[in-house]
Chains A and B, each alone.
Chain A
Amino acid sequence: MSNALKRTIGATIMASLFLSACASVPHGPALSLANAGVATTSTFSTNVRTTASQVQYVDVTEAFVATYDYCANPALPCSPQLQSGAMVKLRQDLANVILLRAKAIDALGKAYGALKTEAEYDARGDLVSATNSAIEGVNNFAAAALAIGGAAPAAALIGEPLKQITGFGVGLLADRNQRRRLLAGSEAIAAATKQLRDALAVEAFVYDSLADYIEKSRTAAKIRMLDAGLVSNTDALMPMAANLGLKPVSGVDAVIAKSPQTKIALTAMLQAQSRADVQLDKDKYQASIAALDALLRAHDELKKNQSVSLADVDRFLGELNASLDAGKKE
Chain B
Amino acid sequence: MASTPAERLYVVYEAYSQAYARRAQDWKDAKTKAQADTIFKNVESLEALYLKAAKQALDTNAQAVENAFEAAKAAQKEVNDAYEEAKGIADKIKLVGSVVSKVGDLINKAGGK
Task: Give the bracket for the number of chain B residues in contact with chain A.
Answer: 20 to 34
Q: Which residues on B sit within 8 Å (CB–CB) of A152?
A: 59
Contact, CB under 8 Å: B4 / A148: no
Question: In the complex the two chains form, is A73's CB within 8 Å of B55's CB?
Answer: no
Question: Is A171 at the interface (CB under 8 A from chain B)?
Answer: no
Known: A87-B47, A151-B57, A206-B9. A76 touches B27 (CB 8 A): yes
CA A206 – CA B6 in complex, angstroms?
8
- Choose from B21, B33, B50 the contact partner of A76 (Cβ within 8 Å): B33
Q: Scan residues 41-94 of chain B and give those whose CB is less than 8 A from a CB of chain A.
A: 44, 47-48, 50-52, 54-59
Number of interface residues of A (CB under 8 A): 34
A160 is an interface residue with CB less than 8 A from chain B:
no
| Interface residue ranges of B20-49 to A (CB < 8 Å) | 20-21, 23-24, 27-28, 30-31, 33, 36, 40, 44, 47-48
Contact A73 B30 (CB under 8 A): yes
A77 CA to B31 CA in the complex, in Å?
A: 12
CB-CB under 8 A for A76 and B13, given A69-B27, A148-B54: no
Given A86-B48, A209-B13, does the pair A97, B36 have CB atoms closer than 8 Å? no
The reply to whether B59 and A151 contact each other, CB–CB distance below 8 Å, is yes
Q: How far is the CA of A81 from the CA of B44 in the complex (A)?
A: 11
Question: A276 at the A/B interface (Cβ < 8 Å)?
Answer: no
Which residues on the B side are within 8 Å of A149 (C-beta)? 5, 57, 59
The interface bits of chain A over 150-162 (1 if a CB of B lies within 8 angstroms of the residue's CB, else 0) are: 1110100000000
Contacts of B10 in A (CB 8 A): 205, 209
Q: Which residue of A lies closest to B20 (CB)?
A: A216
Least CB distance from A13 to B in Å reads 51
List the B side residues contacting A151 at CB < 8 Å: 57, 59
CA distance A37 to B79 in the complex (A): 49
* B59–A150 CB distance below 8 A: yes
Query: Max chain A CB contacts within 10 Å: which of B13, B55, B56?
Result: B55
Which chain B residues border A146 with CB–CB below 8 Å? 57
Q: Are B30 and A209 in contact, CB atoms less than 8 angstroms apart?
A: no
CA distance A69 to B28 in the complex (A): 8
Chain A residues within an 8 Å CB radius of B44: 83-84, 87
Tell me, rounded to whole Å, the shortest Cβ–Cβ distance linking A228 to chain B: 13
Of the 9-residue stretches A88-96, A193-201, A252-260, A280-288, which lies at the interface with chain B? A88-96
Q: Which residue of B lies closest to A147 (CB)?
A: B57
Docked complex: A55-100 residues within 8 A CB-CB of B: 66, 69-70, 72-73, 75-77, 81, 83-84, 86-87, 90-91, 93-94, 97
Q: Is the CB of B54 within 8 A of A150?
A: no
B24 to A72, Cβ gap below 8 A? yes
Contact in complex: B17, A212 (CB < 8 Å):
yes
Q: Write the residues of chain A forming the contact surface with B, with a CB cutoff of 8 angstroms.
A: 66, 69-70, 72-73, 75-77, 81, 83-84, 86-87, 90-91, 93-94, 97, 146-152, 154, 205-206, 209-210, 212-213, 216, 220
A-B contact pairs, 19 of them (CB 8 A): A69-B27, A70-B27, A73-B27, A73-B36, A75-B31, A76-B36, A87-B44, A87-B48, A90-B52, A147-B56, A148-B54, A150-B57, A150-B59, A151-B57, A205-B10, A206-B54, A210-B54, A212-B13, A213-B13
List the 9 closest pairs (A to B, CB-CB), nearest first: A150-B59, A150-B5, A205-B6, A69-B24, A90-B51, A209-B13, A151-B59, A76-B36, A147-B57
Apart from A75-B30, A76-B33, A216-B21, what are 6 other A-B pairs with CB-CB below 8 Å? Answer: A70-B36, A72-B27, A94-B54, A148-B56, A209-B9, A210-B54
